[in-house]
Amino acid sequence: AQKVTQAQTEISVVEKEDVTLDCVYETRDTTYYLFWYKQPPSGELVFLIRRNSFDEQNEISGRYSWNFQKSTSSFNFTITASQVVDSAVYFCALSEANTGNQFYFGTGTSLTVIP
Amino acid sequence: EAGVAQSPRYKIIEKRQSVAFWCNPISGHATLYWYQQILGQGPKLLIQFQNNGVVDDSQLPKDRFSAERLKGVDSTLKIQPAKLEDSAVYLCASSSSLGPFEAFFGQGTRLTVV
């Protein structure tokens, strides 16, 4: 069973628009961690954020914000006022406490920001 | 701080040939991972090391893939013999310890098997 689902395969927005990337996860663990990574064309996965299952506080970092809702098993990522440099593939990942920090990645959402 | 180094960046081989990838993690990072990323998919864990011991290799096709991490630092991943379906990007990552710490990824090795 897919532990992390990113239903949006590709998204295109015009520069300065806001965009939300969806992530739905599945786990039976009570202790788990959620991550977002960015993969630019260079190929390297860049860490963006980590959230643990006991902290549902939303987080904002500059133009990035994350909305964690345990009730819907979602961990969505919003980019405000998108820029061309935001164009990349974004991956949501889940790590469960009882599986030694193995990351289960979603299939990714390819974001294109059009100037 | 230097990041995770991987080589080569690109490799093209014929099926049934062998190939090896090298990874140098961030200094001091005890946990090292190898992931396979097939085009259009998310990375899939192949093997995870803690120092020089294997933590998880349940998804490593052991009939053709092997990996080692001698002295708990550098690691090599080998495929022998390669199949067409092994065409993918092989990503190495490291984290400071075993636990829910963020992993830092290298740029990967893009393997094409023809």
User: Is the separation of the CB atoms in A93 and B33 below 8 Å?
Assistant: no
Q: How far apart (Å, rounded) are the C-alpha atoms in residues B110 and B114?
A: 13
Average pLDDT over residues A76-83: 96
Q: Which residue, among A103, A105, A109, A110, would best test binding to B if mutated, counting the most B CBs under 10 Å from its CB?
A: A103
The predicted-structure confidence for A27-49, as pLDDT tens digits, reads as follows 988 889 999 999 998 888 999 99
> SS3 for B104?
strand
pLDDT band at A2 (very low <50, low <70, confident <90, very high): low
Q: How many residues does chain B have?
A: 114
Average pLDDT over residues A41-67: 88
Q: Which residue has the higher pLDDT, B98 or B114?
A: B114
The pLDDT of residue B6 is above 80:
yes
- Which residues contact residue B39 at a Cβ distance below 8 angstroms, ignoring those fewer than 6 apart? B87, B88, B89
| Chain pair A-B, CB pairs under 8 angstroms | 62
Q: Which chain A residue is nearest to residue B57, measuring alpha carbons?
A: A102
- Beta-bridged to residue A49, according to DSSP, are A36
A91 CB neighbours in chain B (<8 A) are 42-43
CB spacing of B48 vs A97 below 8 angstroms = no
> SS3 for B65?
strand
The pLDDT of residue B20 is above 80:
yes
pLDDT band at A71 (very low <50, low <70, confident <90, very high): very high
Locate B95 and state its tokens. 């984290």
Q: Which residue has the higher pLDDT, A107 or A43?
A: A107
| Closest by Cα among A24, A21, A109 to A70 | A24
User: Is the separation of the CB atoms in B4 and B59 below 8 Å?
Assistant: no
How many helices (H) and strands (E) in chain B? 0, 11
CA angle centred on A37, ends A25 and B113, rounded to 5° = 100
> Closest partner residue to B100 among A101, A107, A108, by Cβ?
A101
Task: Give the sign of the dihedral formed by CA A88, CA B95, CA B78, CA B23.
Answer: positive
CB spacing of A102 vs B45 below 8 angstroms = yes
Specify the pLDDT at position B100: 64
The pLDDT of residue A92 is above 90:
yes
B41 CB neighbours in chain A (<8 A) are 107-108
Q: Which of B19-23, B30-34, B94-98 has the lowest mean pLDDT?
A: B94-98
Q: How far apart (Å, rounded) are the C-alpha atoms in residues B69 and B94?
A: 12
